[in-house]
Amino acid sequence: MTVSSQVKGCFASVKNIEATLETLANKTQDQEAKKAFKDVQTIMNTVQNDLENQVLYLTKEEPQYKS
């Protein structure tokens, strides 16, 4: 497995986690839990953006990592 495919897999996992957090936030009635889910979702969004930038870097700057 190449570095690029590992980063892409991590990116997909983070997107899934972010979507799950949103679902949990929407389902809970507990306002404190809802805020916690939304706060973590915001953090995961930042991680997702960073990983997306890394994927773009790998495919542009490191041709051996193109998949």
- Write the pLDDT tens digit of every residue in 27-52: 999 999 999 999 999 999 999 999 99
Cα–Cα distance for residue pair 21/47, rounded to 1 Å:
14
67, part of any domain? no
Q: In the chain, which residue ranges form alpha helices assigned H by DSSP?
A: 3-27, 31-61
For the chain, the residue count is 67
Give just the sign of the alpha carbon dihedral 34, 37, 43, 46.
negative
Q: What is the pTM of this model?
A: 0.78
How many domains does the chain fold into?
A: 1
14, part of any domain? yes
Under a CB-based contact definition with an 8 Å cutoff, are residues 25 and 41 in contact? yes
20, part of any domain? yes
Structural domain harbouring 58: 3-62
28: helix, strand or coil:
coil
19, part of any domain? yes
